[in-house]
Structure 1
Amino acid sequence: MKTEYRITPLSTFRRDSGRLTEWVRHSGGRLWLTKHGKAVAAVIPMFQCERLETWESVSLAEKRRQMEEGYARWKAVKALSGDTAERDFWDRGI
């Protein structure tokens, strides 16, 4: 069976994320997200992400733990420096 692909602008994905992620989940297709016409990210079915995890020999849980440790260290340094800026890189999910 051939994998189906769709290409959609990031702005459309923001608006229709629920419907588009359901399409990925049910069809097994891949969704390429574009910004100004250039591919910037992809939404893939979870089973494909799990295959990548196996291939890379690193679990998603371990990657998340590493990211959360880095975030905690960053927040500690920020607090020590007295930085009270509201624009928080990590909290914005960038």
Structure 2
Amino acid sequence: MAITNVTLGPVITRPNSGAPTLVEHSHPRAKQKFVPSGSNQVSTIVAQKGEFWHVTTDTAVWLKFAAAPVAADGDTHFLPAGASRSFSVTAGDKIAVIAA
């Protein structure tokens, strides 16, 4: 079964060569697991200011972020199978996932 995991959590800053670097906190505030399909699936978790989305997937997916997102093939962010990626948030946004 294909799985896409999503976490939301606070970000801390650490100096790196004199410039701040965003680092994910070790304790996410919220998490949700998706089983991607050909249908748009929208998260129940909602982003808050100062957080990061972190998405890990074992199958290829398309992602969309918005207050009422609709993920579609060829739209916005593509993650290939085995990928892991972080995104800064817009407060109030959810994430939508659809299989690629």
Q: TM-score, normalised by structure 2?
A: 0.23
Which protein has the larger Cα radius of gyration, Structure 1 or Structure 2? 1
Q: Which has the higher contact order (CA 8 A, sep 6+)?
A: 2
- Whichever structure has more helix as a proportion of its residues is 1
The structure that is strand-richer by fraction is 2
TM-score under structure 1 length normalisation: 0.24
